[in-house]
Amino acid sequence: MASPDTVAELIARLDAPDHGRWAAQLRRTGGCRQPIHLRGHVLHVDPATGRRLHTYTTATEPGGILRVPCKTRRASRCPSCAETYRADTYHLIRAGLVGGKGVPPTVATHPCLFVTLTAPSFGLVHTRRERGAKLLPCHPRRNARTCPHGRVLSCTAKHSADDPRLGEPLCPECYDYSGSVLFNAVAPELWRRFTEALRRRFAKLSGLTLKALKEKVTISFAKVAEYQRRGVVHLHAVIRLDGPDGPESPPPGWASAEALAQAVQHAVSAVTVTITAADGEPARVLKWGTQLDIRRIAMDGGLTEQAVASYIAKYATKAAECVGALDQRINPLTDLDTLPIRDHARRLIAACMHLGAFDELADLRLIQWAHMLGFRGHFSTKSRHYSTTLGDIRADRTERVRAEAITTGRLPLFDEDTVLVITHWEYVGKGLSPVDALLASLRLEVNPDA
**Contact set with Zn ion (CB under 5 A):** 32, 69-70, 78, 81, 126, 138, 147, 149, 155, 157, 171, 173-174
Beta strands of 246-405 (E only): which ranges?
273-275, 284-286, 292-296, 380-382
Q: What whole-number distance in Å separates Cα of residue 11 and Cα of residue 33?
A: 21
Residue closer to Zn ion, measured from CB, 271 or 393: 393
User: Which residue(s) pair with 36 in the sheet?
Assistant: 68, 430
Centre a 10 Å sphere on the Cβ of residue 403 and count the other Cβ atoms it contains: 12
Backbone angles phi, psi at 66, to 5 degrees: -105, 130
Helix residue ranges, H only, 99-237 = 177-205, 210-214
**What angle (nearest 5°) sits at the alpha carbon of residue 415, between those of residues 414 and 421?**
70
Closest distance to Zn ion from the beta carbon of 138 (Å): 3
User: Which residues contact residue 324 at a Cβ distance below 8 angstroms, ignoring those fewer than 6 apart?
Assistant: 340, 341, 342, 345
Residue closer to Zn ion, measured from CB, 126 or 318: 126
Closest distance to Zn ion from the beta carbon of 355 (Å): 21
Residue closer to Zn ion, measured from CB, 126 or 236: 126
Residue closer to Zn ion, measured from CB, 70 or 273: 70
Closest distance to Zn ion from the beta carbon of 232 (Å): 18
Beta strands of 228-379 (E only): which ranges?
233-242, 273-275, 284-286, 292-296
Closest distance to Zn ion from the beta carbon of 157 (Å): 5
Closest distance to Zn ion from the beta carbon of 432 (Å): 10
What is the strand order of the sheet 218-227 is part of?
292-296, 112-117, 233-242, 218-227, 380-382
Residue closer to Zn ion, measured from CB, 69 or 374: 69
Q: How many helical (H) and strand (E) elements, i.e. helices and strands, does the chain have? A: 10, 13
Residue closer to Zn ion, measured from CB, 240 or 347: 347
Closest distance to Zn ion from the beta carbon of 373 (Å): 21
